[in-house]
């Protein structure tokens, strides 16, 4: 096991297009996944892409928080999902704006427009293809992580950079931000502060 160094914004590895994994059952991929799990557990994150640990391969791990997988806000178990060669398909044009943070962009958060409903598929480490439908925060987390594999960090998706800021400052001034930007009342100032991908 090993805790890997996380690349931060400015490192070119974060902007490479990650390579497709030819054999998901390759022992080298299993070792990478184990190290990514150790690294994620050592961080405050909910997800990690291989690109973030300097390995340009299409591998993502993340905790799928079922309590945020839809409209149901009740507490429930989270499940670690390991995705090799993930593919996302939006299920409608509907999008929503919400906060994101990233282990590669420490201390900051920003509001990003994402598809609200998606279908996504991936290969498991056993080489089996799986598929899931997701909405809300769950869908957002998948889109954020898979963007890493295409060399995209969340600030590159932002259309209003006034909504990029230090989390500490943003949280303190959320009411001003809300009024100034016509954000919805439901726009949660605390969401994701400690939950990064
Ligand atoms: Ni990230």
- Whether residue 2 is contained in a domain is answered as no
- Whether residue 122 is contained in a domain is answered as yes
- Domain extent at residue 62: 12-191
> What CA–CA distance (Å, rounded) separates 112 from 180?
16
Q: What is the 109 CA–ligand 1 centroid distance (Å)?
A: 11
| Domains: count for the chain | 1
**Cα–Cα distances in Å, from 149 out to 105, 137, 187?**
16, 19, 28
- Whether residue 126 is contained in a domain is answered as yes
Which helix (H) or strand (E) segment holds residue 80: the answer is strand 78-90
Q: 19 - beta bridge partners?
A: 57
| H, E, C per residue of 111-177 | EEEEECEEEEEEECCCCCEEEEEEEHHHHHHHHHHHHHHCCCCHHHHCCCHHHEEEHHHHHHCHHHH
Per-residue pLDDT of the chain (197 residues; tens, 9 = 90+): 799 999 999 999 999 999 999 999 999 999 999 999 999 999 988 999 999 999 999 999 999 766 444 444 444 567 899 999 999 999 999 999 999 999 999 999 999 999 999 999 999 999 999 999 999 889 999 999 999 999 999 999 999 998 999 998 988 877 777 666 666 555 554 444 434 66
Q: What is the 18 CA–ligand 1 centroid distance (Å)?
A: 14
- Whether residue 131 is contained in a domain is answered as yes
Q: What is the 197 CA–ligand 1 centroid distance (Å)?
A: 4
Q: What is the 55 CA–ligand 1 centroid distance (Å)?
A: 14
- Whether residue 135 is contained in a domain is answered as yes
Q: What is the pLDDT of residue 77?
A: 60
Report the 10 Å Cβ neighbour count for 90.
16
- Whether residue 197 is contained in a domain is answered as no
Q: What is the 152 CA–ligand 1 centroid distance (Å)?
A: 9
pTM for this prediction = 0.88
- Whether residue 70 is contained in a domain is answered as yes
Q: Quick one: which of 119, 101, 118, 123 has its CA closest to 110?
A: 101
Q: What is the 48 CA–ligand 1 centroid distance (Å)?
A: 7
CATH of the domain at 17: 3.90.45.10
Q: What is the 101 CA–ligand 1 centroid distance (Å)?
A: 7
CB < 8 Å & 24+ apart, contacts of 63-67: 64/132, 64/134, 64/138, 64/141, 65/137, 65/138, 65/141, 66/138
- Whether residue 5 is contained in a domain is answered as no
Catalytic residue among 75, 89, 113, 145: 145
10: CB partners within 8 A, 6+ apart: none
Q: What is the pLDDT of residue 66?
A: 60
Q: Is 145 a catalytic residue?
A: yes
């Amino acid at each position: 096991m090993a805790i890997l160094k996380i690349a931060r914004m400015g490192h070119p590895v974060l902007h490479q297009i990650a390579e497709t994994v030819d054999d998901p059952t390759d022992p080298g991929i299993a070792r990478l996944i184990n190290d990514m799990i150790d690294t994620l557990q050592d961080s405050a994150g909910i997800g990690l892409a291989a690109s973030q640990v300097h390995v340009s391969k299409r591998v993502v791990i993340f905790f799928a928080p079922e309590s945020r997988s839809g409209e149901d806000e009740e507490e429930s178990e989270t499940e670690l999902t390991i995705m090799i060669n993930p593919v996302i398909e939006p299920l409608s044009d509907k999008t929503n704006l919400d906060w994101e943070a990233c282990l590669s962009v420490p201390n900051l958060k920003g509001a990003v427009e994402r598809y609200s409903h998606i279908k996504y598929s991936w290969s498991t480490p056993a080489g089996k293809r799986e598929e899931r439908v997701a909405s809300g925060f769950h869908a957002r987390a998948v889109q954020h992580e898979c963007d890493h594999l295409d060399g995209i960090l969340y600030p590159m998706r932002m259309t209003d950079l006034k909504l990029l800021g230090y989390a500490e400052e943003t949280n303190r001034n959320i009411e001003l931000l809300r009024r100034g930007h016509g954000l919805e009342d439901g726009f949660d100032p605390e969401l994701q502060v400690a939950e990064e991908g």
